[in-house]
Structures are given as C-alpha cells and as structure tokens.
Structure 1
Amino acid sequence: MKKALLFAVMLSFSVTQASAWGQLGHYVIGLMAERQMKKSVLAKVEKVLYPMSLGRSGTWMDEIRSDRSYDYANSWHYLTSKNGEYDPAHQEKEGDAFEAIQRLKAELKAGNLSQKEEAEKLKMLIHMVEDIHQPLHVGTGEDRGGNDVRIEFFNQSTNLHALWDSGMIDRKGMSYSELADELFRRLTPAMKQKYRGATMEDWLKEAVALRPLVYKLPESKKISWVYMYESNDALEERLVAASVRLAQILEEIYG
C-alpha cells in the first residue's frame, strides 16, 4: 500500500514537472521581466495580480490543472509546428498557446472584465508567453513535445521535456533570484532590441532552430555534463528572451 502511494506521488510529480517550465524557470522569467518594465506599468500589473507577484503568477496556470473547471485550457500550454510555421490545422481543437496568447492579449487590452476575469486571463497570458519559449513547447506533433523521449539524467529516469522544463535548471543549484541576477546582468540594449523586434512567428522559428541541439542525444539516452554544457547557452538564452517579450507584452497592454 505504501509503495503504491509513493509511486502515485512520484508519478504526479513527474507529470507536473513535464507540463511547463519548472517553478524556478517561471520565477526567473517573471523577476527579470519585472526589472525591465516601466514602474507605472508594473504597478498596474501588480494591482491586477495582487496578492501574487508577477514571478509567482507564472506558475498559476499549472496549478489549476487540478481543477477540472479549467480543463478547457489544458492544450493552451503548447502548440505544434513542423518547420516554424503556425498552422491552425495542426493544433488541438480546444486551442493552443499561439492562438490563446493573441486572444487573451486582445481581451485584456479591450478591458470590460471583472476583477477575477482580468486576473485569471493575465496569469494565463504570463504563463503561456513564458512557456512558448521552452523549445519543446513548440512540438513536432510526434512525441508530445519530448515527453515520450525517455532518458537518464545523472542516472535518474526522466524524459526530454522534463529535462528542459526543470532538470537542467535545478541542476545548477541556484535560487531563482540568483539565476535571474546572473542572466539579467548579461542583457544588453542590443539584445532587447532584437527580442522585442521579433514577431510571434519568429518565436516559433527560434524554437524549431534549436531542435537539432535539443534532440542531440547519445544512443544510450544517458546524459549528464556534456549535454548540459552544450545546451546551457540555449537554455539561458530562452529564459532571457522570454523575460524581454513578457515585459514588452505587458507594457503593450497596460502602458
């Protein structure tokens, strides 16, 4: 009985971790976005999200998966793109991250929402903008965004999606504020201009361009330091890009 309960808890943890950037990833992106935003805009956003912070609110959309009343949004965490294009025909019928980001952004800009509606839509938007920058949230449509690719990471069984969500970030052994500090100091005006000038279609192309790196696995599927070393720059760049674009979108809505 105890073994069965332990297995159920471990399975639940595994599924949760495989659903999006892990908690640290979301916190890092949110904190860096806060530091880039105009104070007047950040104040408006914080008022809507209160008592949650911007960083903390990024995990809310994963947490509500336990509430069946939000099942309609289950497929909004990801999308399918074969070669960097957005094709509605390849998406889930309930919606996808690309479509939902654009729709919620328009709804928030239009206003006329109740306090609860605005807060929930904003938290969803924040989460999805962050998620879509994890390369495996722009999936091929063949392996559930890497969830079906079983690997061993430092001798621990996991999957490729979970590795990019949280495995490599957690392995750094840093708090989210420490990692945010480290990444934020590298953010240059030129990088901001580049990221802010990209379209959402460009975001998909960026994810697809990283697939050869993401799927560069040994036949044994046992990975550790070499894979982390080769992937680290891309992983950190995705966190930085997400923070710039999240700040940009929030300023477009509340600026």
Structure 2
Amino acid sequence: MKVKLILLACIACCAFRPAFGWGKTGHDAIAYIAECNLTSRAKKNIEKYLDGRSIVYYASWMDQVRFTKPYRATSKWHGFATDAEAKYIPSPGEDAVLAIEEAAATLRDYRHQDDSMVCTAIRYLVHLVGDMHCPVHIRYPWYEKFLFKIYGREYQIHSFWDAVPDIIHTWGYEDYRCQLDRCSKTERKALAAGTPREWADENARNCRVIYDWIKSGDNLTKAQSHDFMLNVQPLAEQQILKAGYRLARILNELFD
C-alpha cells in the first residue's frame, strides 16, 4: 500500500512539472555514473574548468538556463528526430546529437580554447548525452504529447518519462549508481561503444516500443498499470546506465 501511495504521489506531482529529460534525479544519476567511470586524470582536468565542482553539479544546468536570453537557442537542442524506420535525421538548430558533436569538437582542442567556452561545452555534453537517451526526447514522425491514465490518474506521456527515475524508485542519484553500475569492464566497453549518431539510431530502435505500451486516451486498469510499469522500469534503467557509460567514454577520450 505504501509503495502504491508513493507512486500515485509521484504521478500527481509530475503531472504539473515542466517537461525536462529525465528530471533532476535522472540527470544526476547519469552524471554520477559517468563521474565514477572517469579516469583520475580526466576528472582532474575537467574539474579545473568547473571551478572544482563535480559534473553532477551541472547535470541539469541546461534545463535551468534554456529559457534565459543568452541560452534561448539551446531550448531546442534536447532531443533528435527520426524517420518512420527509426533512423536518425540531423536537424540543425534543434538536435542534441549535432550539439554533442559540436561540443566534443570544441573540447578536442580545449587547451587552446577560452576557459568559459570549455566550461560551457562540458556542461552541454553532460546534459545532452543524458537527454538523447530519454525515450520521449526522440521525435518520431508520430510523436505527440498525448494523455493517458495509470492507476486512475491522468498523465502526459512526455512528463511521465521525464519523471520516471523518481517514479520507479525512491532512490537518489548515488543509489542509481550503486545499483546499476555493476557491469564488468568488457560490458562497460561494449555499452559505451559507437558514435552519438549510432547511439541515436540504437535509442530510436529500442525506445519506439513505448508507443506500443500506451496509447492516447488509454485508461489502464490496476493490473494493466502494474504490467506497464514492469516494462517501463528496465528500459529506463538501461537507458540511464548507457548514457552514463557513454558520457564517461567521451569525457575520458577528450580529457585523458
């Protein structure tokens, strides 16, 4: 009963929250998994440009500044588009994948860049690698922010998935790292392999299933709600873990 009440409270709360990828808990978890997989040299070099702070500190920074005048253009960078076959389509000006590539390109020559530019590019990477792994930040041709009901409460699909890390567990970001980051070195390397464009294709293939699990106007029974959540949890956890390992790999390659 207590678990159900917590779930319903999370759902009710999240229905009124802005739609930001993974929410603070998810972004912090991704950044912390990444930080715990950085080499000591990479971590030291990165923190020089973050005033000694952890990358976790800036995990949600892009969501905090996206509507301010200096960063208004970045408000469209938080996802990416695909075709009907779930193949990534570059979309200049509104594309997390292109923004990740541009930030990485800046950081390849970070020693010869302005410190503030390096700091900003790191913050972009930390956030956008997480966002591109959030299922509702993938813009399929049929994407829409539809409503459905779970456990008798109305929900918006985008807000639901953004809030999933707080819904499926009552964990903090350190708990996510402790419970999920248990792969062998070989497994971590395999999960982190590839390029941002290849990750986009993979994410699109793997995450399109969420639109089979729930449809606009669905009103799930208690049993259907349980089944739905049993599908949601492993996908969310896998996407968070992959994002953490992939962020770590990019940062290690750039700063070690």
Q: Is 202-211 or 32-41 further displaced after alignment?
A: 202-211
Asked if residue 190 in structure 1 is aligned to residue 171 in structure 2, the reply is no
1:172-251 pair list within 5 angstroms: 172-185=169-182, 187-215=183-211, 216-217=213-214, 220-222=218-220, 224-251=225-252
Report deviation, 1:164: 1.6
TM-score, structure 2 as length reference: 0.84
User: What is the aligned partner in structure 1 of residue 117 from structure 2?
Assistant: 117
1-side partners of 2:156 and 2:53: how far apart?
31
Whole-angstrom CA distance in 2 between matches of 1:253 and 1:238: 23
For 1:150, which of 141, 147, 152 is the aligned residue? 147
Greater CA drift, 161-170 or 71-80: 161-170
CA contact (8 A) 2:15 2:160 kept: no
> Quick one: distance in 2 between partners of 1:200 and 1:171?
27
Structure 2 gap segments, 5+ residues each: 1-12
Aligned residues: 237
Spell out the pairing of 1:4-83 with structure 2 (5 A cutoff): 14-15=17-18, 18-82=19-83, 83=85
| Structure 1 unpaired stretches of 5+ | 1-9
Partner AA of 1:97 in structure 2: A
TM-superposition CA deviations, 1:101-158 (whole Å, max 9, x none): 11110011122332222111210111111111112222114435xxx12123433333
Instruction: Tell me how far apart the structure 1 counterparts of residues 226 and 63 of structure 2 sit (CA, whole Å).
Output: 29
SS of the equivalent of 1:66 reads coil
TM-score by length of 1: 0.84
Taking structure 1 as reference, are residues 53 and 80 closer, same or farther at Cα in structure 2, changes over 3 Å only?
A: same
Q: Which moved more, 1:152-161 or 1:102-111?
A: 152-161
Per-residue Cα deviation, 1:16-43 (whole angstroms, up to 9, x for no partner)? xx12111000111111111111111111
Structure 1 position 165, deviation (Å): 1.6
3-state SS of the aligned residue for 1:210?
helix
C-alpha distance 236-183 of structure 1, shift in aligned 2 (>3 A): same
> Percent identity between the aligned chains?
23
Counterpart in 1 of 2:127? 127
> What is the one-letter code of the residue matched to 1:183?
L
Instruction: Tell me which amino acid in the other structure corresponds to 1:101.
Output: I
The whole-number CA distance in structure 2 between the counterparts of 1:98 and 1:220 is 32
Q: Relative to structure 2, which stretch is displaced further, 157-166 or 55-64? A: 157-166
Amino acid at match of 1:64: V
- Seen in structure 2, the aligned counterparts of structure 1 residues 211 and 41 have a Cα distance that, compared at 3 Å, is closer
Contact 2:192–2:249, Cα closer than 8 Å, also in 1: yes
d(CA) in 2 for partners of 1:143 and 1:155? Answer: 24
Q: Which AA in structure 2 matches 1:115?
A: D
Cα pair 1:168 1:228 within 8 Å, conserved: no
Instruction: Supply the distance in 2 between the matched residues of 1:13 and 1:115 (Cα, whole angstroms).
Output: 38
The verdict on how the C-alpha distance between 1:75 and 1:212 changes in structure 2, with shifts beyond 3 A counting, is: closer
- The answer to whether the Cα contact below 8 Å between 1:196 and 1:245 also exists between their aligned partners in 2 is yes
CA separation in 2, counterparts of 1:67 and 1:172? 32
The equivalent residue for 2:7 is: none
Q: 70-79 or 224-233, which moves further after superposition?
A: 224-233
Letter in 1 for 2:134: Q
| Aligned residue number for residue 89 of structure 2 | 87
Alignment-derived partner of residue 139 in structure 2: 139
In 2, are the aligned partners of 1:213 and 1:231 still within 8 Å (CA)?
no
